[in-house]
Amino acid sequence: MPQPKFSGVIVPLITPFKEDFSIDLDGIRWLTNFLVKKGVNGIFPYSTTGEFVHLKIEEGVKITEIVLQECKGKTKVIPGISANTTLDCIEIGKKMEDLGADGVIATPPFFFKLKKKNLYKHFSMIASKISISLIVYNIPDLTGNLIPIELYSKLAEEYSNIAGAKVTYDSASYLRDLILELKAIRKDFAILTGLDDMLLATLLLGGDGGIMACANFAPQLHIGLYNAFHEKNYEKAFEFNKKIAKLVQIYKYASSFPSAIKAALKLLGTPIKNIVRPPLSPEPPEIEAKIRAILHELGMIK
């Protein structure tokens, strides 16, 4: 039976910055090596969590180049290629393909509200112009464009290099129907949640894993859950799920998910600074204290 190319725990990599808002290249190297040593199944540079909308294309390409160099083939590298114009997505996709990426990830455009035929045109044009695998990323809260399940089905049937879906959409019924329909069409089509606390539900429904932001600093929880589930140690998987459910409360306090992740990395004593590019802002001390309390409760910090 054909297996999905992408599965397990994939990390949407944050982009470390210096005080002058330039990219912290050493921070990228450190975080990539940290994640590889922890055993993640993939890294997603130039990601939504990585503030791709605040980066120039050449910066996204440079970040991906560094991640590929540090990974040395030990884990898959699947950079983002999202942009508001299909032609830019194709241009970025070709650059990532030339670098040797294992695949790419693209959201819908995020300004105009698009009809299904326009979303189809966007993703089909990308898939037809690149040869590497494409993950179609549904994140309607930020793009304003929900990808219909029937569109995923049409794309999966017509393009063999459309390899999966990342779903950052808080709907169990959508996720259930997507898994049932797409797995009936292609067993090798990966269904990946973008929500940390939906990982167990995704696996229970027949999905393949997740691309989850908290795995930047707590990959051991996500990997522990994924491995326990596949070892049929469900009690252990449930315990990891409880911890992840507690962990995601950091988003409730933070002003953005990139700043939440960077605050946690700072509190855990990593070399990553809690700096985001404007108009985002780093979390102030009172919010850091709330995040620290969650990390302390989970035994991750004293």
- Chain segment 238-294, per-residue pLDDT in tens: 999 999 999 999 999 999 999 999 999 999 999 999 999 999 999 999 999 999 999
Q: Which two tokens stand for residue 2?
A: 């054909």
Q: What is the pLDDT of residue 198?
A: 98
Per-residue model confidence as pLDDT tens digits over 92-118: 999 999 999 999 999 999 999 999 999
Rounded to 10 degrees, the C-alpha dihedral 251/255/258/261 comes to -50
Per-residue model confidence as pLDDT tens digits over 116-162: 999 999 999 999 999 999 999 999 999 999 999 999 999 999 999 99
Per-residue model confidence as pLDDT tens digits over 57-104: 999 999 999 999 999 999 999 999 999 999 999 999 999 999 999 999
Residue 156 · residue 120 · CB < 8 Å = no
Instruction: Pick the closest to residue 207 from 249, 171, 165 (CA basis).
Output: 165
Q: Which two tokens stand for residue 114?
A: 């698009």
Q: What is the pLDDT of residue 123?
A: 98
Q: What is the pLDDT of residue 302?
A: 85
Q: What is the pLDDT of residue 140?
A: 97
Instruction: Pick the closest to residue 51 from 80, 71, 87, 9 (CA basis).
Output: 80
Per-residue model confidence as pLDDT tens digits over 215-253: 999 999 999 999 999 999 999 999 999 999 999 999 999
State yes or no: pLDDT of 1 exceeds 80: no
State yes or no: pLDDT of 2 exceeds 90: no
State yes or no: pLDDT of 13 exceeds 90: yes
CA distance 62 to 13: 14
- For the chain, the average pLDDT equals 97
CA distance 184 to 51: 35
Domains of the chain by start residue, with CATH: 8-234 (3.20.20.70)
Q: Which two tokens stand for residue 235?
A: 């009690």
Q: What residue type is 82 in one-letter code?
A: S
Per-residue model confidence as pLDDT tens digits over 187-222: 999 999 999 999 999 999 999 999 999 999 999 999
Residue 219 · residue 31 · CB < 8 Å = no
Own/partner pairs, 281-289, CB within 8 angstroms, 24+ separation: 281/255, 283/253, 283/254, 283/255, 283/259, 287/253, 287/254, 287/255, 287/263, 288/263
CA distance 214 to 222: 9
Rounded to 10 degrees, the C-alpha dihedral 62/65/70/75 comes to 130
Per-residue model confidence as pLDDT tens digits over 30-54: 999 999 999 999 999 999 999 999 9
Report the interhelical angle of 57-71 vs 86-99 (nearest 10°). Answer: 30
Peptide bond into 279 cis (omega under 30): yes
Residues noted as catalytic: 48, 137, 166
Q: What residue type is 191 in one-letter code?
A: I
